[in-house]
Chains A and B, each alone.
Chain A
């Protein structure tokens, strides 16, 4: 069990994070940008120091009023949002640098999992965003840490690459018996990967629990609800047809003259639908 109750004051903002995380679980940290998700991860791994409270990981105290284990001694792997690969080292050198005891076979296995065996001797500057992200993932686990922390690791990637790296994370999480915490904005991603969701709101952990229970009460009810962006508003006879972007899909919805008064192109809106019977195509 990872038991956390920490407070930090930073420029008049009071952060307070209190939660319990099961060992070997994969938790998603969910919340709006600016809510404090990254700060939570940085405090947990020791890149920032809390003002008060405690962090206990199994039987080890990482932080309390007497102890403050330096980040180097906390058994973690951290994937940064900007990848933070070392430009002066090739892919394999980046991974080797991360290991305390050399284990080339394990590095080989990691590179196979993330599909980078062809790129071992390339410098990071020559890799695509997705490839860099996978090197960063492999590097973070190269020393076989207990805890894997991912800071918005997937937000900058396109859908296809995202799905692939989601799979990589799942495989690595299981293969190494990791306890993983990842920041995510995407409910689908949260559902797919995590067994535990930590919802961060206004610099605090609002609640945590399994995603289906947590989201069913709030975000998901009997009706369909999507956030969308208005792309086009065009008249058709006496009504108007509104083109919406939902995720990566364009959808058309009908609106009346009265309704479009409040709408502008580029607005972010909520599209909801009640009382219909959806078909799920697999």
Chain B
């Protein structure tokens, strides 16, 4: 039980982080370089999960992804996939909930680079993609790392959204943070403590590692 829940927790975190990494970079690039009037709208949407109660996001996801909703019934009919009370459901919920944690650091990193770096690359005949891959991303390694780690850690630690949309199905949607709540309710303090301590130790180690590595990146660039 314990191992199954922990593994599921990290599987979700890993998948969510990977997906958000690849979605996050183009969105962060767009926000950091656009002069469009839509920019504040998109920025607001990206930041919403920071201030909204997780239960609000969870509630709307339930409403919009549920089997009776348009999206939910479509996906269920064509892909034989149920988006609520399922593993796929908590993935979607986690991706939306962790959105700002990936995008903000990358956006800040890109904005901190002098504009002339990308422009210099353009004058050297390089496309936007070449510029992104060879000039911009290699110079914001610490922002990328921060984004990855915050997203991962935040997904491991989330509670409300997952509970709302995923419920508490062992091996399917029961993540560590929910398991803690569950065990406390059942007065299994020992098991709750085991989960809590593991999460605590892992979160500490990850963040500690990031600060060490970021210190090295910064040192190398100075």
Contact = CB atoms under 8 A, between A and B. Distances in A.
Given A84-B116, A84-B119, A100 B221 contact: no
Interface stretch (B48-56, B60-68, B120-128, B203-211): B120-128
B123 A45 contact: yes
A28 to B, nearest CB: 20
Contacts of B19: none
B121 to A, nearest CB: 8
B124 A98 contact: yes
A80 B120 CA distance: 8
Interface in A134-183: 139-140, 142-143
Interface residues of B, number: 18
A61 to B, nearest CB: 19
Contacts of B124: 97-98, 139, 142-143
Contacts of A215: none
Interface in A46-99: 47, 71-73, 76-78, 80-82, 84-88, 97-98
A100 B114 contact: no
A88 B139 contact: yes
A71 B123 contact: yes
Contacts of B121: 86, 97
Interface string B119-156: 11111111100000011001100000000000000000
14 contacts: A72-B126, A72-B127, A78-B119, A80-B119, A84-B114, A84-B116, A84-B117, A85-B120, A97-B124, A97-B134, A98-B124, A125-B221, A139-B120, A143-B125
Given A47-B123, A72-B126, A125-B222, 9 more contacts: A47-B122, A71-B122, A72-B127, A73-B125, A78-B120, A80-B116, A88-B139, A98-B124, A100-B125
